[in-house]
Structure 1
């Protein structure tokens, strides 16, 4: 089985527009002699570089979220290769290989009028020839006369292509499954023809294969190196798509009579070309239900979160006559993520705009990606140190304060029910949705638009938002209590004019906070400054009580075996934007450089001397807890 884990990130949806390197895992494991299991295979047509169709043998894997193709098949097709760094691991993190590329395939059926695009990652070999041993296909009388996807399903042959669940769920036809007699496989009708799958009583040895996909390390590592780079002072050069997206926003955003903003989704085409997606959303909901049934506390939080969507008017139930119209309506699959450190929302529902529809295209693929509009974090933090009075605040549910135009809500549907025994109901999400690739730009750009629209009425607040806002956080200040209170009043009134609540106010001045209701003040002290909200092993915090910066140290997870990969992951979870800990963190970089010079593989256990050095280093790291660095820098 393959699944993809995505980091919860304020700035991206994840589901979002940022490029993710996938780390895949595959592990063949020998087993004892047992009942043989036939896996579904199909002969499909794949278009080559010259536009001709070539026959390829595919394995249909409903447990894999991504697809794979053999390097020999790619060479035969002559199609262009895109870079993609894949580290391959098996069960229990056993290393089994790697891949460095992916391709875009156009796959079609040799039996029906069906074609679909597939993104496939390249492996030297997808799997061993399947079936692993020959089986007597002539004994399956109940499948005679069927148009088989693979007429030689019973004969071990090479596999060119593994087609994952993003396509598998869309190729099943409405014909009922033909259930074989006890001890014999079933026949399943697909767009590629009938596939044979299931147990087959034959006294032959079997192989069990498993795949796991994890995609967090690269983004963590990139952040680790980029945090030390000074941001460029040059104006960014926008791509053509970013320019078009900005033009679309300017031309289509509206401000309603009550002050709220209404936005249009930035589609590349006027009408997005999407297939059906409701069936996949239902299956994903059922999978969430099965998982959460054994976790009642989390299940109740999930239910409460969805109830809140309805209560706040962020989601509304569809009338029955609209459920199946239009045909290209998009349904978000959804799941939950937990953040134990949050003082407000421990559980958040995340919507998957990257889920493929029946034609192989996702909602996120149909939209333009807008430019980054907020300031870089380091200049904001540097300015934050200049003020005598510190001011921090957070926009409550910022994404969900901006409405989506009614005509675009057909692309923001979900299925939901509070119990597996209740009927499934259809809803439309009415606001900017976390998980939609356009959400990040929509939210940040609209906060800027608010500042521009209210510049005359609230000049001080407008300046602060355009300069010191980072996603939904404000890190600013003032040189006197009077100026601070003026800024506080303007910020509250300006955001209130757009029906947005500013909360989690924090300051080094108690008199400043006393002018705010208690429920708007931040209860968590110190205030974490790692605004991307990832879990850090060493994170920068601001303590308003002492008006100083501190560091929090989180021990790495207990591991029986540490490798170069796990060490890099732990080292990269350091948030030190000012470089104050460079005399300490330089040791980790030297340690990693040592590993690199020894040419160790990514998943080989660390040498004893390196492990001793790393363990000692991390034990001493806890002394950093006592470091206090004054926030206010006197120039």
Structure 2
């Protein structure tokens, strides 16, 4: 059992005759302390034994109206010092005089158990540590561990032994409820990640946010894995030579990274300097077959180590998807936007760029020699990149709050899921104003908010064609119906302002595996289709 209580210092205790006084260590408030009055010595007990009768007048009677409010533990060593001892016959109680008075010690309990009068069954008691015993557990055993909470603000005035009055920090209640009670606490590594970000993330002279690679505090030194990256590049070239379309898309993507200053020719390495080469490969999004994305394989191992294994992944800073979608449906005017190339908006500290080296062909020509490049921005494939990007995005919003408004900051902090921002407004004018202020706020950090879509044609008209979502760029908004827009994996019909679902017509075997394949292929985080996909079977 764990409880929270108050703590007080600078108190002292004295005996009833006021002859003994001494200071107490820090007192800790507890919900319960042992208060079994049967264990208190009384004059009657002393008079019952001939060897103790002469101290009966030195033991005060027990007052049933007085509460037992203080328990002195063994750490108050002086309170337990024996100044005088009366032994007596074998198996008889004995008495001890302490600084605070006389105590009588008899058969109260043995260790932590009361001795039973009879042992005629095999029934056992189980102690808190799991040990079984024929002895009955003592109900007067407690264990208190102190853990000081320095955040308490309230206090209580008490008077010390010197007569001065001071304020001791006390809690307002033993059990306090907070808004964070149901939230999962951050791990030690997550706190280290956030500390690294807090200390090192900054804006450069051009306004872009710069963040380090969050290395683990104790890690193995990375070996030079250039030979591995070179083998992977040769394998990639063979694959691209068989698919001219993919080859051209890959070359265009790499050239675009160089043109946008996301990558740069790598300078020569100093002798013995630590570095890492990232193997690269291309992936296609199922919904975007005409586009290819270059991914850096940060999980590729060389000599039993990879770049991701020495990096902190960071906490999940994303907003809950369900909350974003629910707020998206709150008001009648719904809108969405997207951050262009989310990860590439945030620079890597220059000292860490040699850990993001990669190999590619000179002049984007696969017949020419291999050259070394390195990324200047955080990349797809690095495990901490999502947390780094979300952290930096929120820093940009926090900095722009004073000029562009707290609602613009809140839109970024509460209504974004990775790079997609969904929200709603009571009026078209409110949505337009919020989007424009948010775009201006992020533009100050060289972050472009685009692909704007809304169920209101008035909102869409307020933005340039290039800033609109792909499906509505060439529409005549005065006459053409608004199309279906994909937002956070959901199909959003702008014209009817409703979520729709596209079900695969592919036939599957009527087996458990086939049924689960069809049901799970329907992306539905809100559970709107559950009454249809999950139905009881009539017999």
Instruction: Using structure 2 for the length normalisation, give the TM-score.
Output: 0.61
Shift of 1:530: 3.9
- Whether 1:405 aligns to 2:349 is yes
Work out the CA distance in 2 between the residues paired with 1:340 and 1:564.
26
* Alignment partner of 1:449 out of 392, 395, 400: 395
Residues 222-247 of structure 1, C-alpha deviation per residue, up to 9 Å, x if partnerless?
A: xxxxxxxxxx9932211100111111
Work out the CA distance in 2 between the residues paired with 1:570 and 1:497.
46
Work out the CA distance in 2 between the residues paired with 1:302 and 1:566.
36
* Alignment partner of 1:360 out of 296, 304, 316: 304
Shift of 1:448: 1.4
Partner of 1:391: 335
Cα 1:353–1:509 shift into 2, 3 Å: same
- Whether 1:275 aligns to 2:223 is yes
Work out the CA distance in 2 between the residues paired with 1:564 and 1:288.
38
* Alignment partner of 2:521 out of 554, 573, 580: 573
* Alignment partner of 2:243 out of 295, 301, 318: 295
Work out the CA distance in 1 between the residues paired with 2:247 and 2:510.
34
Secondary structure of 2:447 counterpart = coil
Cα 1:555–1:279 shift into 2, 3 Å: farther
Residues 445-464 of structure 1, C-alpha deviation per residue, up to 9 Å, x if partnerless?
A: 11111122222122221011
Work out the CA distance in 2 between the residues paired with 1:424 and 1:562.
52
Contact kept? 2:219, 2:310, Cα under 8 Å: no
Work out the CA distance in 1 between the residues paired with 2:399 and 2:296.
31
Shift of 1:564: 4.5
Unaligned runs of at least 5 residues, structure 2:
1-179, 472-482
Partner of 2:139: none
Partner of 1:436: 382
Contact kept? 1:277, 1:356, Cα under 8 Å: no
- Whether 1:496 aligns to 2:436 is no
Work out the CA distance in 2 between the residues paired with 1:291 and 1:547.
44
- Whether 1:377 aligns to 2:321 is yes
Shift of 1:270: 7.0
Shift of 1:332: 0.7
Partner of 2:407: 460
Partner of 1:265: 213
Secondary structure of 2:500 counterpart = strand
* Alignment partner of 1:510 out of 457, 470, 475: 457
Work out the CA distance in 2 between the residues paired with 1:498 and 1:473.
17
Secondary structure of 1:428 counterpart = strand
Work out the CA distance in 2 between the residues paired with 1:562 and 1:318.
56
Instruction: Using structure 1 for the length normalisation, give the TM-score.
Output: 0.52
Number of aligned positions between the proteins = 346
Point out which structure has higher relative CO (alpha carbons under 8 A, 6+ apart): 1
Partner of 1:286: 234
Cα 1:433–1:288 shift into 2, 3 Å: same
* Alignment partner of 1:423 out of 364, 369, 372: 369
Contact kept? 1:339, 1:347, Cα under 8 Å: yes
Secondary structure of 1:457 counterpart = helix
Secondary structure of 1:288 counterpart = helix
Work out the CA distance in 2 between the residues paired with 1:279 and 1:272.
19
- Whether 1:308 aligns to 2:266 is no
- Whether 1:528 aligns to 2:473 is no
Work out the CA distance in 1 between the residues paired with 2:210 and 2:220.
20
Contact kept? 2:501, 2:522, Cα under 8 Å: no
Name the structure where strand makes up a greater proportion of residues: 1
Work out the CA distance in 2 between the residues paired with 1:326 and 1:304.
34
Work out the CA distance in 1 between the residues paired with 2:537 and 2:389.
40
Work out the CA distance in 1 between the residues paired with 2:223 and 2:392.
30
Residues 397-427 of structure 1, C-alpha deviation per residue, up to 9 Å, x if partnerless?
A: 0100100000000100100013442100000
Contact kept? 2:253, 2:293, Cα under 8 Å: yes
Partner of 1:347: 292
Shift of 1:574: 2.0
Work out the CA distance in 2 between the residues paired with 1:522 and 1:285.
35
Contact kept? 1:415, 1:427, Cα under 8 Å: yes
Residues 46-87 of structure 1, C-alpha deviation per residue, up to 9 Å, x if partnerless?
A: xxxxxxxxxxxxxxxxxxxxxxxxxxxxxxxxxxxxxxxxxx
Work out the CA distance in 1 between the residues paired with 2:519 and 2:272.
49
Secondary structure of 1:335 counterpart = strand
Cα 1:441–1:583 shift into 2, 3 Å: same
Secondary structure of 2:410 counterpart = helix
Partner of 2:266: 318
Cα 1:261–1:325 shift into 2, 3 Å: farther
Shift of 1:516: 0.8
Secondary structure of 1:374 counterpart = coil
Shift of 1:572: 1.9
Contact kept? 1:485, 1:512, Cα under 8 Å: yes
Contact kept? 2:420, 2:487, Cα under 8 Å: no
Secondary structure of 1:583 counterpart = helix
CA RMSD for the aligned pairs?
2.4
Contact kept? 2:266, 2:357, Cα under 8 Å: no
Correspondences of 1:85-96 after superposition (within 5 Å) = none
Structure with bigger gyration radius: 2
Secondary structure of 2:463 counterpart = coil
Cα 1:282–1:569 shift into 2, 3 Å: farther
